[in-house]
Structure 1
Amino acid sequence: MKFTSTDKYVAPPDLTIAVNAAVTLQRPLLVKGEPGTGKTELARQVADSLGLPMLEWSIKSTTRAQQGLYEYDAVSRLRDSQLGDPRVEDVGNYIRKGKLWQAFDADQRVVLLIDEIDKADIEFPNDLLQELDKMEFFVYETGQTIRAKQRPIVIITSNNEKELPDAFLRRCFFHYITFPDAETMRKIVDVHFPGIKSSLLTEALTQFYQIRETPGLKKKPSTSEVLDWLKLLLAEDLGPEDLRRDGKSALPKMHGALLKNEQDVHLFERLAFMLKGKQQ
């Protein structure tokens, strides 16, 4: 089983190597990179490329590691016992399987995405060490040991909001997705907009990378944002000459797709003001 780029996803060679190395080593693949570099989409495309089903566990600040294993609904069992419901005799009726249990219990190998692990409490990764390492866990309420029928391919994403524990990092294969260069970005755009005119794309990407490199920018636009911007440009049937900025405004056309806060908009307005002052 070898992961390669798909018709919907352009995977650079180093990312392809990282995915296949993690699969070979049977280690979770920990993927970092700035937002919008395709970390979450990677898991979906790995599943698609290898022909495997995917399970997604989206992590929030309130998520506990135990929820990935199972949850025991003691309140419902107590209520049913008061009502004389015969289901209370089997505690298994009140256990809800988490995403890890579902992945372990699957009859075929699955891709398990643990998305944005850094959103959770700092102890969250440590609480999953044993389960991800040995691919098993114990259910205290039923006395069962749940072992993986097929070892899942585990992909874990992080936006680097907090440091992950060393013990957790040692058990992962790590890869940082660098932001695509212009050539790679053209390939990505071609996947989404195969008929786009080369002259429009060249002018748009030139402006896009100039914006990203502007000193003082609070939030750099990402791949998903440039794709949204190009979609708008195509919908408005704009040409490369329509995108060229003059001294009146440093803001690009449809800038709301690229600039996501007022500080960055004001930054470009100040740049236009300064440029106009120099020209006078």
Structure 2
Amino acid sequence: MKFQGTEQYVATPELQMAVNACITLQRPLLIKGEPGTGKTMLAEQLAEALGLRLIQWHVKSTTKAHQGLYEYDAVSRLRDSQLGDDRVHDIKNYINKGKLWEAFESEEQVVLLIDEVDKADIEFPNDLLQELDKMEFFVYETQETIKAVKRPIVIITSNNEKELPDAFLRRCFFHYISFPDKDTMLRIIDVHYPDIQQNLVQQALEVFFDLREVRGLKKKPSTSELIDWLKLLMADQMSLEMLQNRDASKAIPPLHGALVKNEQDVSLLEKLAFMHRRQTR
């Protein structure tokens, strides 16, 4: 099983090597990178390329590690006991399986995505050490051990919002998705818009990478935002002419709402444009 990217996903040789290394080592692959660089899509495309089912666990700030294993619904059991429901005699009726349990009990190998692990509490990764390492966990309510039938391919993503524990990092194969260079970006654009005008792409990329180089920008535009911006530019017949004949003193590009996502950055670009006009008078 070797991953080489797909028609919908451009994987660099370094990323391909990382994915295949994690499969060989049977270790979770920890993927970091800027938001919008395709971390989540990697798991989706990996599953498609290998013909495996994808199980996704999207982590939130309130997510607890045990929710990935199972949850015991004691409230429902108490209510059913008061109503005289026969289901109450089997505690398994009140065990809600989590995503790890679902992946472990699968007869076929699956791809398990633990998405944005750094959103949760700092203890969240540590609470999954044993389960991800041994591929098993114990259910106290039923006194049974759940072991993985087929070891899943585990992809864990992080946006670097907080540091992850060393003990957790030791159990992972790590890869950082660097922001694509212009050549890689051209390949990505070609995947999404194979019929796009190349002169529009060249002009748009020049504006896009210039914008990312602006010092002090709070949020640099990402790959996914570039794709959205190009879609708008293609829909606007005047966009190519606007890009080709743009005033260098105007730091804000046309349809900038697809690229610049907060008022601080808009204000910064307006100040830079004002300063440029004063210097060129």
Asked whether the 8 Å contact 2:239–2:254 carries over to 1, the reply is no
Q: Secondary structure at the match of 1:133?
A: helix
1:219 Cα shift?
0.5
Distance 2:217 2:210 in 1: 11
Corresponding residue number in structure 1 for 2:251:
250
Q: Secondary structure at the match of 2:273?
A: helix
Superposed CA RMSD: 1.0
* Equivalent AA in structure 2 for residue 76 of structure 1: S
* Equivalent AA in structure 2 for residue 170 of structure 1: R
1:197 Cα shift?
1.0
Distance 1:247 1:98 in 2: 54
Alignment CA distance shift 1:205-1:214 (3 Å): same
Corresponding residue number in structure 2 for 1:268:
269
Q: After superposition, what is the alpha-carbon deviation per residue over 1:235-256, rounded to whole angstroms, capped at 9, x for unaligned?
A: 1124533214215622111000
Corresponding residue number in structure 2 for 1:214:
214
Q: After superposition, what is the alpha-carbon deviation per residue over 1:161-213, rounded to whole angstroms, capped at 9, x for unaligned?
A: 11111111000000000000000000000000001111110010011000000
Q: Share of identical aligned residues, percent? A: 69
* Equivalent AA in structure 1 for residue 278 of structure 2: G
Moved more, 229-238 or 68-77: 229-238
Asked whether the 8 Å contact 1:52–1:111 carries over to 2, the reply is yes
Alignment CA distance shift 1:238-1:2 (3 Å): farther
* Equivalent AA in structure 1 for residue 33 of structure 2: G
Structure 1 residues without counterparts, runs of 5 or longer? none
Corresponding residue number in structure 1 for 2:87:
87
Corresponding residue number in structure 1 for 2:11:
11
Corresponding residue number in structure 2 for 1:74:
74
Moved more, 15-24 or 234-243: 234-243
Structure 2 residues without counterparts, runs of 5 or longer? none
Q: Secondary structure at the match of 2:138?
A: strand
Corresponding residue number in structure 1 for 2:185:
185
Pairs within 5 Å for 1:1-280:
1-238=1-238, 240-244=240-244, 245-247=246-248, 249-280=250-281
Give the length in aligned residue pairs: 280
Asked whether the 8 Å contact 2:233–2:240 carries over to 1, the reply is no
Q: TM-score, normalised by structure 2?
A: 0.98
